[in-house]
Homo-oligomer: A and B are copies of this chain.
């Protein structure tokens, strides 16, 4: 990978979707420059950043002169680019993408919102907290049920499905869920942690720009 084709990740050290892209880069052996966005200060809503990410969200990934946003789309892109974590055949790749879509719909909102309310907005209406808590619980049960049957989510080897679905799970304690309540998820998390390049969020994500 030439310098001109290097990666720059725009993210926040607190952001699960930013971690998702950082982890994929790390697991595929890519180094990357980093631009730290101070979300509480609204750095993601400035005109400069909106020119990078039209949605005003983190993460974004610049690869040479191409910029891509949406963490699961970036996982798809990076696995396509590197040929890694893509499954051994086309069917497995499609099933891995199904899991990413499921994660965005049924796992991430429940876990990340529960984490947000717990850490940053504890006075949120209890009825709202319950909606997301129940969603997170239901999603974790589906994940645990699958991992009771198969070692990895799609196919015989780890894929972007596992990387994507792992990221909310990385924050379970902060969301006040107990990993021990989902024993197959716990065992899978240990298999993931053994992959070369694996790092936990606060070990991986820089708090300031990295050139």
Contact: A102 with B70, CB < 8 Å?
yes
A55 cross-chain contacts in B, Cβ below 8 A:
102, 106, 142
Number of interface residues of A (CB under 8 A): 28
- In the complex, which residue of chain B has the Cβ closest to the Cβ of A139? B55
A128 cross-chain contacts in B, Cβ below 8 A:
125, 127-128, 131
Residue A77, interface by CB 8 Å: yes
Contact residues of A between 85 and 119, Cβ < 8 Å to B: 91, 94, 97-98, 100-102, 104-106, 109
Cα of A68 to Cα of B101 in the assembled complex, Å: 12
A27 cross-chain contacts in B, Cβ below 8 A:
none
Contact: A98 with B127, CB < 8 Å?
no
Cα of A26 to Cα of B201 in the assembled complex, Å: 44
- In the complex, which residue of chain B has the Cβ closest to the Cβ of A69? B98
Cα of A97 to Cα of B131 in the assembled complex, Å: 28
Extra pairs beyond A55-B142, A76-B97 (9, CB < 8 Å) = A54-B146, A55-B102, A66-B91, A70-B98, A70-B101, A70-B102, A73-B97, A101-B104, A125-B127
